[in-house]
Chains A and B, each alone.
Chain A
C-alpha cells in the first residue's frame, strides 16, 4: 500500500454497523491490509455505551494495540499499522439527558413556543423515547443530537482544560486540526438505514470542521481535510417488533423499513448540498434484499441459540454477525487512504462528491448467489510485476488473501492442535530449537485476537466453538458452491478447526503437521525471537504453500 508520509489518516466509526465495519478494518489491519500506513486515529462513536458490538470493537483495538507494540519492529505484514482509539459516547444515561425534550430543555423559557418548534420537526414519540439505546433509526433526530453532542463536548473541553485533557473527542479533533497543516483524510463507517450511524454520517464533516474552528478560535481553514465514507444499505433483517413492544417502546427499530430508509438516504446523499460539498468520495455498498441475513435464523441455526420473542433495541444483547459487506467497507477505506488509488491531487481537484462502487460476480445455476474473489476485496491495480525492476511481485490482492488465510490458519491450527493455547505451539517449536520469547500479556492478547478472528470457544471444557469474525462472514455469506468464498474449499471454514490444512494442497495430503514444521524449519532454520517474529515466521510458512484456487488469477 502506497503511503504519503505527510498525510494523516482518521477513521470515524458510528453506530452498530460502524462498529462491525471497524472490526473488519481492525482484522484486516492485523493481516496487513494497511501496512503502508504508520498510524490511523479512530474515533469510535456510539450512543449506546453497552452495545456489545461497540465493546467488541473496543476490546479488539485494545488487544491490537498490545500486539502492535510487540510486532511493530519485526519484519512482515501482521500488526504493522498503529491504531489509536478515541471512544466517544454522548451520555444519555442520566435522567437529565435521557430524551430529546429534557436534553433540548424545551420546558425552559417559553415552553409553549419551544414545543411548537420541536413539533414541526419531530413527532411526540420521537421526542420522548429513551436515547440510551441509540437513535433507533430516527435519523432526523439523531443528526441534530449528534452534531449537538460534538459541539457541546468540544465547548466544554475548550472552557475547562481539565475536562479537555480527559476528553477523547477533543484529542481526536486536536489531532485533525494539527493534521490540517499537511493533509488529513477522514473516512466514516456507518449504515444509511439504522440509527446512530445513519444520523452521524451526514453531519460528521460539518461537526469535525466546526469543532476544529472551536479549538483554534476560528483561526483555521480546513482546506486540507478530506472526507470519505461508506453508504451502506440494508443487509440484514430481524423479527419485526410485536404490537406490545411497539406500544411499550413507542419508537423501535424495524428492519422492514431498512430498505426504505436506505433508499431515502441514498436520495439525500446524492442530492444534498451539505453532502456533495463536504464528502470528496462516498462508496456505495449494497446487498440484494433477497439475500439479507436473517439474524434470528442465523442465531438459531448457526449458534443454536433459542431466541426469545423480543426485538433487541440495543445494549448488551446487540451483537450481530460480521458480513462480507463490512469487509468491503474496510476495503473502501483502503481505497480512500491509498495514494495509488486516491492521490492528494485528485482529492484537491474533486469539487463534488464522487460515488464509487464495484460489482460481484454471480455464480451459476438457479438462485445464483454472489462469488467473492480476492480481487473483489482490494481494488485491483497492482500488476503482479514491478515495472521498473521487472521482477515478479505478488499482486496486492493476492498477498492480502494469502495473509488473511494464513492468519486464519494459525488460529485454526492452534485450536485444532493445542485447544486454543498458543503456548503449546511455542513449546513445540522450542523443542525443535526455534525459541520465541513471548510475554504472557501479549500471549493473552493474541489468543483473544486469534479467537475473535477464527473460532470462539464456548467454554473451557471443549464444548465446541462459536464462529469468529471470518467464520461469521463465511456463514452470513452462505456460499452457493465450493470455493465461492475467497476461492477456498467451504470445509476450510466452519466450526471444525481440524480442517486448518485443507486450503493448502501440499499440506492436506498426509501428515500435514510434519509438512508444516518441515517447511517452517527449512524457511527459518533455528530462528527464534519476539512475538512479531513468531507470527511473521508462521505467516511466511503458510504463505510459502500454494493455495487451493478456484481459478488462476489473470492480470488485466
Chain B
C-alpha cells in the first residue's frame, strides 16, 4: 500500500513572509544593510583611525596583519595592533587604505549609475513616446554603444588624458546609458497601451502628466533594479581601470591598491593581505548589490514572493 500522497493537513502550513509588504524581504534588507555599512564604516573609521596612515611611508613596510607572522631574511616579523590589517610594500596601512578607498569606489558606482540613469530616462521616454524617426535614431545609437567594449575605449582615453574620480565616473556613464534607455523605452511602449494610460487620456491628462504621473511611478522597481545593475557594472569597470593603473592617481582606491600590489610583486612575496582585503571588500560590495537586486526582483515580480497576498 503506497503512502498517501495527499496529507490531510489541518495544521497551518509555514509562511515565509509574515508581512504583506513585499519590500520587507530578507535579500533586500541584508543587501541594504551591507551597502550602508560602507559609508557608515568609513565615517566611523575616519573618526577612529588615523587616515594619514594611507600615505606612503607612514608605517613599517610589509607588516602582516595582527596575529600573523612573516618570514624575512632578518627573521620573523609579527603583526601588531598598530596596523591590524598589515601594511603594504610602500608602508601604507591597509586598514587606512580601506577606510579611504572603499567609499570612493562606491561613489564611482553611484555617480556613474546616476548619470547613466538620468540619460536613460530622458532618452528612453523620448524614444518611447515620440516613436518614428526619433525612436529609430535613439535605438540605433544605443545598439551601437552597447557593442563597444567600454574597458577598451576607456583604457585608450585614460592612458592619454589622466582623469580624476568624477571624470572617470562620467566617462563610464557614457557607456552605461544604453541599457536603462532600452529598458525604459520598452516599458514605456508597453505601458502606453495600458488601460490606465487610456483612462488618463480620456480624463484630459496632458502628455507630460501621463509620462510622469502615470507611467513613471510604475517604472520605479525597474529603475531601481537597473540602477543597481549599472552600479555593479560601473564599479567593475572602474576597478578594472584602476587595477591596470589607469585610475585617478591622487587618491587611493581599492583598485589602485590592488594595482600596486601586483606592481610590487605582492603575489610572489606572499603578502596576501595587501590584495586580499581590498578583494574581500569588493566581494562584499558586489554581494550586497546582488542581494539588493534579488530583493527588488521579489518586489516587482509577485511570483517570487513567499506567501500570497
A, B assembled together:
no
Q: Which residues of B contact A (CB under 8 A)?
A: none
Q: Which residues of A contact B (CB under 8 A)?
A: none
